[in-house]
Amino acid sequence: MGYHILVVDDNRIMREMVGKSVRLSPLEVGEVYQAANGAEALERLGEHLIDLVLLDINMPVMNGEQFLEKLRADPVLKHTLVVVVSTESSLPRIQRLRDLGAGFIHKPFRPEELVKAVHELVAQAGRRI
Ligand SMILES: [Mg+2]
């Protein structure tokens, strides 16, 4: 069945690219959904069962960091795996996202980087999907 994935990015081309990369990666992938910002992402999470969120940081309406804070405060959704996929290079900001339990990879990324980040999160969470 694989991971049901939500790709969150305000850039449509980037969403397509990230979606393609996950399908090409050795990760077992189920459905791939898209959202253009954090608010839309929360809507998608209410509609579908999602195992993994690939999250951009800089987005209008609700950015990645605001989204992650809301996600972690939600009793049902708080354990959702999140990998931040961003051009962000501010170390304090990256650390804040890690403190909220997110993995981090720079975009553009190689498929194996994504797989490694996901496996690390799964190991941390001590669970299998
Ligand atoms: Mg962006």
pLDDT tens, residue by residue, 69-106: 999 999 999 999 999 999 888 889 899 999 999 999 99
Asked if residue 17 is part of any domain, the answer here is yes
Q: What is the pTM of this model?
A: 0.92
Asked if residue 57 is part of any domain, the answer here is no
Asked if residue 59 is part of any domain, the answer here is no
* Å from CA of 21 to ligand 1 middle: 17
* Å from CA of 87 to ligand 1 middle: 9
* Å from CA of 85 to ligand 1 middle: 10
Asked if residue 7 is part of any domain, the answer here is yes
Supply the pLDDT for residue 126.
67
Asked if residue 126 is part of any domain, the answer here is no
* Å from CA of 53 to ligand 1 middle: 15
Structural domain tally of the chain?
1
Parts of the chain with a pLDDT under 70? 126-129
Asked if residue 9 is part of any domain, the answer here is yes
Asked if residue 5 is part of any domain, the answer here is yes
Average pLDDT, the chain: 91
* Å from CA of 14 to ligand 1 middle: 9
* Å from CA of 124 to ligand 1 middle: 27
Q: Which structural domain, as residue segments, surrounds residue 10?
A: 1-21+43-50+70-82+99-105
Long-range contact list for 21-27, CB < 8 A, 24+ apart? Answer: 21/108, 21/109, 21/111, 21/114, 22/54, 22/111, 22/114, 24/111, 25/111, 25/112, 25/114, 25/115, 26/111, 26/112, 26/115, 27/2, 27/3, 27/111, 27/114, 27/115, 27/118
